[in-house]
Amino acid sequence: MASTETPGHQSIDYERHGRGYARHRRPDPRIAARIHAALGDARTVVNVGAGSGSYEPEDRHVVAFEPSEVMRAERPRHLAPAISAPAEDLPLDSQSVDAALAILTVHHWDDPAAGLRELRRVTRGPVVVATFHVAALESYWMLADYLPEAIADDRRRFPDVTRIAELLGGARLESVPVPADCADGFFEAYWARPEAYLDEAVRSAQSIWPRLPPGAEQRAVRSLEADLTSGAWDSRHGRLRRQPAYDGLLMLVISQP
């Protein structure tokens, strides 16, 4: 994940907010299986906006790029060190790697269009981008009920999946179900476990919270806590607790050359 965002958006300072990130952003094996399958038989993979290394395949040669020093330090020791470089200017020759990954990172890039074109330039095989379907995000209960001020910002930050496909020169889209017990602590992972949002440590590994206006985080958490205590949340959304997975939020955009 890069440490800056599209111009005009509040920047996420991962030098400040990235510490301890890897404790809550562990790869979920079911999501990892979908990502790794999309790489096909690629032996060399570039991971751009690599963050702490979640979802990097360990049975292939990976070159990781991550501009945040703090996030690079969060990488486990068994992974190769990441190189400091932005998505928009990768220090690689054209078609020099078999495949490329960009996992939950495009919405943090300064210029997503330029970064996506760079992924396609350096890759001779599949480019795999994991992102969220912004239209589906707008109806996600945590945003719709408790953080409506974040919806407009998400519209600006997240490139539409069809636009990502276009910038990559054409791609197929795959929806990836998010399991109810998802091991990865991204914001949308707790769709069936609302109590998790009350945990400050969980929220500290989610980039949405530092972008909110002053006081919005505290207001949202207090409101959610009150609704959980009163039973109002379960009256509206309790059926989700019995649902095995949530489909339509997490997407793979898979481009072949």
Q: What is the pLDDT of residues 195-227, one digit of tens each?
A: 999 999 999 889 899 989 999 999 999 999 999
pTM: 0.89
Per-domain boundaries in the chain? 14-135+150-185+246-255
- Hey, which CATH number is domain 14-135+150-185+246-255, 3.40.50.80, 3.40.50.150, 3.40.50.11610, 1.10.1740.10? 3.40.50.150
pLDDT in tens, 31-41: 999 999 999 99
Confidence of residue 179 (pLDDT cuts 50, 70, 90): very high
Contact predicate 21/71, CB 8 Å: yes
Rounded Cα distance, 12 and 21, in Å: 13
pLDDT for 15 beyond 90:
no
Rounded Cα distance, 111 and 126, in Å: 21
Contact predicate 138/151, CB 8 Å: yes
pLDDT score for 74: 87
Calculate the dihedral angle through the C-alpha atoms of 155, 19, 104, 138, rounding to the nearest 10 degrees. -30
| Region of poorest pLDDT, from 15-29, 64-78, 231-245 | 15-29
- Between 164 and 207, the more confident residue is 164
Q: Can you tell me the mean pLDDT for 130-146?
A: 94
User: Tokens 């997503």 appear where?
Assistant: 112
Residues 6 or more apart in contact with residue 153 via CB below 8 angstroms: 9, 10, 211
Rounded Cα distance, 174 and 194, in Å: 26
pLDDT for 4 beyond 70:
no
Rounded Cα distance, 151 and 144, in Å: 8
Q: Can you tell me the mean pLDDT for 90-114?
A: 96
